[in-house]
Amino acid sequence: MDARATYLQAMGLEDWRLREADPRLTPPRQALGAVPAPAAQLVPAGDQWNNIEIEVAACIRCELHQCRTRTVFGVGDRAADWLVVGEAPGAEEDRQGEPFVGRAGGLLNSMLRGIGLAREQVFIANILKCRPPNNRDPKPEEVAQCLPYLERQVALLKPRIMLAVGRIAAQNLLATDTPIGKLRGSVHAFGAAKIPLVVTYHPAYLLRSPTEKRKAWEDLKFARRVFNGIT
């Protein structure tokens, strides 16, 4: 079974062909006009990534450092075009130190494969790098302390598109309290570089509400079209 079929089976949807996935239709990186030319950097990017990782591992900026097992820095290709951002580590992520593992992670992987992306081809991170106890929502002060790390990762990665996964990620990245249902289906802009950002549901929510999977599938196809410069 190919990747798309795997995803569709996981989502309970019919077969589908991604016309927009034709690489000949993918615009050059500059065409989106969303990412500025890289500034001259005195410190190599690899060293800057390592510096952030070391800072995060030792971070005590908010109270969540007291109950974490491990920080969850983010995982994937540090030159990826796609950045996926979720909410915060859950119990399994806290144990493994990696975002989106377990059943929700498996569904995210299937969703990405459905639009032609392997997990290894994207970078995956969260709004928070430490697990809130009992998976409660992040507190504003925790987000305020932790978001600068993600912003530094974004500045280094320079993604061509961001996928905000779930309400918490979408509302914090866009600094809004608009319901996720109203944030879906539009291209938002993140940060000064105005990186295109598309919103979809969190796979953990989709596992609890499988009837919403079709909407998430529409979001993923929409994001792929945005990336390909078709919308």
Nearer residue to ligand SF4 within complex by CB, 129 or 167? 129
Query: Which stretch in 25-33, 35-43, 60-68, 210-218 sits in contact with ligand SF4 by CB under 6 A?
Result: 60-68
Pairing of strands 188-190, 195-200: antiparallel
61, 145 Cβ separation under 8 angstroms? yes
Query: What is the C-alpha to C-alpha distance for residues 19 and 22, in angstroms, rounded to an integer?
Result: 6
Three-state DSSP class for residue 141: helix
Q: Exactly one of 62, 115, 157, 195 binds ligand SF4 (CB under 6 A); which one? A: 62
Can residue 146 be called a binding residue for ligand SF4 (CB under 6 A)? yes
The C-alpha atoms of residue 121 and residue 124 are separated, in whole angstroms, by: 10
CA 64 to chain centre: 21
Asked whether position 129 contacts ligand SF4 by CB under 6 A, the answer is yes
Q: Which of 64, 85, 204, 223 binds ligand SF4 (CB under 6 A)?
A: 64
User: Binding to ligand SF4 by residue 165, rule CB under 6 A?
Assistant: no
- Minimum CB separation from ligand SF4 for residue 25, in Å? 39
- Nearest CB to ligand SF4, comparing residues 149 and 190: 149
Residue 39 CB, shortest distance to ligand SF4, in Å, is 26
Q: What share of the chain is helix, strand, coil (3-state, %, to 5)?
A: 50, 10, 40
Q: Is residue 147 at the binding interface for ligand SF4, with CB under 6 A as the rule?
A: no
Sign of the dihedral through C-alpha 180, 181, 182, 184: positive
* Contacting residues toward ligand SF4, per CB under 6 A: 56, 59-62, 64-65, 71, 128-130, 142, 145-146
